[in-house]
Amino acid sequence: MPGAVTIEDQLRAILRDVLGVDAARADAIDDDTPLFGAMPELDSMAVAGLLTEIEDRLHILIDDDEVDGDMLGSFGRLAAFVRAKSGA
Amino acid sequence: MSPGAPRVHLYGAGEAMLAFGPQTGPQLLVLQPLFEEMNRARALIVAICRALGERGIGCWLPDLPGTGESLTALDTTSWQDWCDAVPLAVAAIGGGFTGSVGFRGGVLLDHAVPGRRWRFAPTAGRSLLSDLRRSALASGSDPATPAGYHLAPGLTGPLSTADVGADDNARTIRLVSDDRPADRHIEGVPVWRRPEPEQNLALARLLSDDIAIWAMA
């Protein structure tokens, strides 16, 4: 579908809104961009807001035991997790 | 006292209620977000209340039992205590009461308000509790006292199932990034997610304009 908003677009917007990452930095994020442990704004407290915002905007529910360093290790892995959850 | 300075009133069993603006004209009960979101959204909400005061609309912000200046401990406060506080605050506002303005989790309490309801970015109690629990897990603190909040089972239990239903008497505003049903979607960032409290005058202006038109209608 042309012009459709992808999961990646939505995740970039969430990172921008929740972490205060500016638009240029958010646009430069790709699958290989490391997240938790590499992005200074994404500290352990910000992870909570990030996950809740993902749930609200993408209409999924995330269990506590699904959250780990691997799922948050890179933008690509987070997108793959969300895609699997949303059945998209 | 400067015209923009808030007043402090009391309601119920001595709970504090901050008030902005004139005591004539429409009078609004402002139900703030719950827990940490209240601190993060405080600057936005105060900017909205000052703007409404300048337009001749009074705003009243009650401290819920166990929060703010309350003499009651949060760990003995139940969800029912919060629900019961709302009509007591309305009673203290008096005859000019027009309706409620709820933000985020504050909307979960507006069912106890007689009259019209304006709602911004309402959220479910389950989502608020998930956020608190995850913050505790991520920071290595005890999930029973997330972010230092000692919450009674009588509060978390009912809150976990509290949600906002459709309401013909309510006007709902959401951010464009939130595609759930609303009467209007506006541009802006979710300031309640930002760890550093942040002022957002553009968002405050959009919201105070919308509230003013709704309150005067």
Q: Is B138 an 8 Å CB contact of chain A?
A: yes
CA separation for the pair A29, B97 (Å, rounded) = 49
SS3 sequence of B140-174:
CCCCCCHHHCCCCHHHHHHHHHCCCCCCCCEEEEE
Chain B interface, best mutation among A35, A39, A44, by max B CB count within 10 A: A44
Single-letter amino acid, residue B205: R
Residue B187, in any domain of the structure: yes
Judged by average pLDDT, the poorest of B63-67, B89-93, B146-150, B163-167 is: B146-150
Question: What is the pairing mode between strands B116-120 and B58-62?
Answer: unpaired
Instruction: Please state the domain count of chain B.
Output: 1
Q: Give φ, ψ of B58 to 5 degrees.
A: -85, 140
Task: Give the A-side interface with B, CB within 8 Å.
Answer: 13-14, 16-18, 20, 43-49, 51-53, 55-57, 64, 67
Residue B156, in any domain of the structure: no
Question: Any idea what the Cα angle at residue B168 is, between residues B94 and A60, rounded to 5°?
Answer: 115
Q: How confident is the model at residue B2 (pLDDT cuts 50, 70, 90)?
A: low
Q: How far is residue B75 from each of residues A39, B205, B207, B211, B213, measured CA to CA in Å?
A: 36, 36, 33, 34, 39
B195: CATH? 3.40.50.1820
Residue B161, in any domain of the structure: no
Q: How confident is the model at residue A88 (pLDDT cuts 50, 70, 90)?
A: low
pLDDT in tens, A33-87: 999 888 888 887 788 899 999 999 999 999 988 988 889 999 999 999 999 998 8
Domain boundaries, chain A: 7-86
Nearest CA in chain A to B127: A52
Which residues in chain B are closer than 8 Å to A20, comparing Cβ atoms? 194, 196, 198
| pLDDT confidence of residue B111 | 92
pLDDT in tens, B72-96: 889 999 999 999 999 999 999 998 9
Q: Write out the residue range of the structural domain in which residue B111 sits.
A: 7-124+168-216
CATH of domain A7-86: 1.10.1200.10
Nearest CA in chain A to B174: A57
Helix-, strand-, coil-residue percentages of chain B, each rounded to 5: 40, 20, 40
Q: How far is residue B39 from each of residues A62, A80, B97, B122, B123, measured CA to CA in Å?
A: 25, 33, 26, 17, 17
Residue B116, in any domain of the structure: yes
| pLDDT confidence of residue A41 | 87
pLDDT in tens, B10-53: 999 999 999 999 999 999 999 999 998 999 999 999 999 999 99
| pLDDT confidence of residue B7 | 95
Question: Global pTM?
Answer: 0.92
| pLDDT confidence of residue A40 | 86
Residue B45, in any domain of the structure: yes
Residue B16, in any domain of the structure: yes
Q: How is A5-51 classified by DSSP, letter by letter?
A: PPHHHHHHHHHHHHH---HHHHHT--TT-B-TTTSTT--HHHHHHHH
For residue B73 the two structure tokens come to: 């401990």
Longest dimension (CA), chain A: 36
Here the ipTM equals 0.85
Q: Between these two residues, B142 and B114, which has the higher pLDDT value?
A: B114
| pLDDT confidence of residue B120 | 98
